[in-house]
Amino acid sequence: MLTGLTLTQARAGLTTRKFSARELAQAHLDAIGRLNTALNAYITVLPEADVLASADAADARYAAGTQGIMDGLPIGVKDLFCTKGVRTTAASKMLADFVPPYESTVTANLLNAGAVFLGKTNLDEFAMGSANINSAFGPTTNPWKRKGDEATALVPGGSSGGSSAAVAAGMALAATGTDTGGSIRQPAAYCGIVGLKPTYGRCSRWGTIAFASSLDQAGPMTRSVADAGLMLEAMAGFDAKDSTSSNRAVPEFHKAVGKSVKGLRVGIPAEYRAPGLPADVVAMWEQGIAWLKAAGCEVVDVSLPHTRYGLTTYYIIAPAECSSNLARYDGIRFGMRKDAPTLDGVYEATRAAGFGQEVRNRILMGTYVLSAGYYDAYYLKAQKVRTLIKRDFETAFETVDVLLTPTAPSAAFAQGENMDDPVQMYLNDIFTVPASMAGVPALSVPVGLNDAGLPLGLQVIGKHFDEETVLSVGGALEAAAGFTHVPSVHAGAGA
């Protein structure tokens, strides 16, 4: 089944001409046609003629032996990356009709590597959310169902929920995501796929619509750990247009998968054993520890004492940066405009009509913590605590090679649950936020199902710019888990 392949398998099939890039693209377009109405994973699907033309060009390169590392591989693009000539909405009414005249660096890199774009995937508006329910184009539905309960629709996680649902359901071989506080890793865990947040600066942010600039980072969402490495190779690289972009060489990440992890020291942070953590999550974590011990790793208890402040700090810094970044949407230069008798009236009417409730909430929070009289008490103090969180990770990595934690405190929950309790919604990111605050790479790997038949993920956190060790350990977990379960909506879409 062509829509059930990994990137690595599809690349091998294209190389040996077992099937063509056109056949692969058509199979995914057909899957989107069958499933997208129910799942709402894509906001915009590219015209079939354009997708097939890209596939035909890839076939020509395979025939000539000049193919790139992503050539002919059909993928989804989170609708936060600007794509030249293709509508880019950030899942917001504010940008509902925005067609960028330029290509983001990450998507340009993927196109240069030969990737075939299928369309733009759904997300929480401006990447603000953990359940993909804050989209102006409607929520995305997780392709997984609870055992014995086909009626209840589950969230796919967020903000990259459209990307995770598309990959899990066989509507793309892989997809791009962005991660500000867990928006690649948490939806990957909820949908039973692999999600990698690289080190901050590994992938360019240029042309990616900004939420919180000191945290936003692009990364791959795939069906296997090796696929994540392969796709990151294509996405990453120095970009002079992004002042935070790292000028480090890009390794062959996919070759790290399958390397022996014997002798590596794996840290288990005491602070991640949160009170009330569900028994199935704890059991899966303990199983992951046992698998790594069996693979020859040494397991070490470590402490990250300032982790408990991570979520609080994040929800000061991220909204502050959001309020600054989103000030540009004023109805004057681009995006939606609502006319009013005065200039202030234009601002107010445009932003009230263009932004959803969650975005407005975060702008208000951010403006408050940056306001005179509160800047020192909140924002400045949060920046100091962020430094302490980063220092905790650096201290831990003096004695261990990676950390192992759960990705999320639960499996996917139902649409509508927790919606009236924003604090509970924010707690979905409790295990992912600290790595984002520190800027270190982190990988979510699906390792099994809970009693309700829903996927659970474990998170591997590594040192700055050491994605290779993270991928090696993730590959060892993947091999030990043998996770092959797939959502009922698409048998054959698993890793």
Over the stretch 195-250, which tens digit does the pLDDT of each residue have?
999 999 999 999 999 999 999 999 999 999 999 999 999 999 999 999 999 999 99
What pLDDT score was predicted for residue 485?
A: 65
Catalytic residue among 183, 224, 323, 436: 183
Report strand pairing: 74-78 vs 217-222. Answer: unpaired
The answer on pLDDT for 487 being more than 90 is: no
Which pLDDT band holds residue 493 (cuts at 50, 70, 90)?
very low
pLDDT tens for residues 349-392?
A: 999 999 999 999 999 999 999 999 899 999 999 999 999 999 99
Q: Shortest CA distance to 485 belongs to which of 113, 191, 264?
A: 191
pLDDT tens for residues 44-74?
A: 999 999 999 999 999 999 999 999 999 999 9
Residue entry with tokens 């936003």? 216
The answer on pLDDT for 495 being more than 80 is: no
Tokens of 62: 């395979």
Which pLDDT band holds residue 491 (cuts at 50, 70, 90)?
very low
% the chain with pLDDT above 90 = 92
Name the β-bridge partners of 402.
266, 462
First to last CA, the chain: 13
Q: Is 410 marked active-site? A: no
Q: What angle do CA 145, 223, 1 make, to 5 degrees?
A: 80
CATH superfamily, domain at 2-260: Amidase signature (AS) domain (3.90.1300.10)
Q: Shortest CA distance to 452 belongs to which of 327, 310, 222, 279?
A: 279
Mean pLDDT value across residues 383-402: 98
pTM for the full predicted model:
0.96
Window from 179-188, 256-265, 326-335 with minimum mean pLDDT: 326-335
Q: Is 159 marked active-site? A: yes
Q: Shortest CA distance to 163 belongs to which of 187, 146, 179?
A: 187
Phi and psi of 205, rounded to 5°?
-95, -5
Q: Is 183 marked active-site? A: yes
The chain-wide mean pLDDT, for the chain, equals 95
Q: Residue 238, class by beta-carbon neighbours within 10 Å (0-12 exposed, 13-18 middle, 19+ buried)? A: middle
Provide the CB-side half-sphere exposure for 418 (13 A, CA): 20
The answer on pLDDT for 412 being more than 90 is: yes
Q: What angle do CA 319, 101, 37 make, to 5 degrees?
A: 70
What pLDDT score was predicted for residue 428?
A: 81
Interacting residues of 116 by C-beta distance below 8 A, sequence separation 6+:
21, 24, 25, 51, 54, 55, 58, 72, 73, 74, 75
% the chain with pLDDT above 70 = 97
Provide the CB-side half-sphere exposure for 106 (13 A, CA): 31
Map out the domains of the chain as residue ranges: 2-260
Catalytic residue among 20, 159, 163, 224: 159
CA–CA separation, 232 vs 106, rounded Å? Answer: 10
What pLDDT score was predicted for residue 388?
A: 98
What pLDDT score was predicted for residue 489?
A: 65
CA–CA separation, 442 vs 471, rounded Å? Answer: 9
At residue 57, what is the residue type? A
Residue 102: CB atoms within 10 A of its CB come to 12
Window from 156-165, 220-229, 413-422 with minimum mean pLDDT: 413-422
What pLDDT score was predicted for residue 427?
A: 75
Mean pLDDT value across residues 87-108: 98
The answer on pLDDT for 492 being more than 50 is: no
What pLDDT score was predicted for residue 403?
A: 98
Catalytic residue among 78, 120, 197, 463: 78
Residue entry with tokens 């797939």? 486
Q: Residue 294, class by beta-carbon neighbours within 10 Å (0-12 exposed, 13-18 middle, 19+ buried)? A: exposed
What pLDDT score was predicted for residue 392?
A: 98
The answer on pLDDT for 34 being more than 90 is: yes
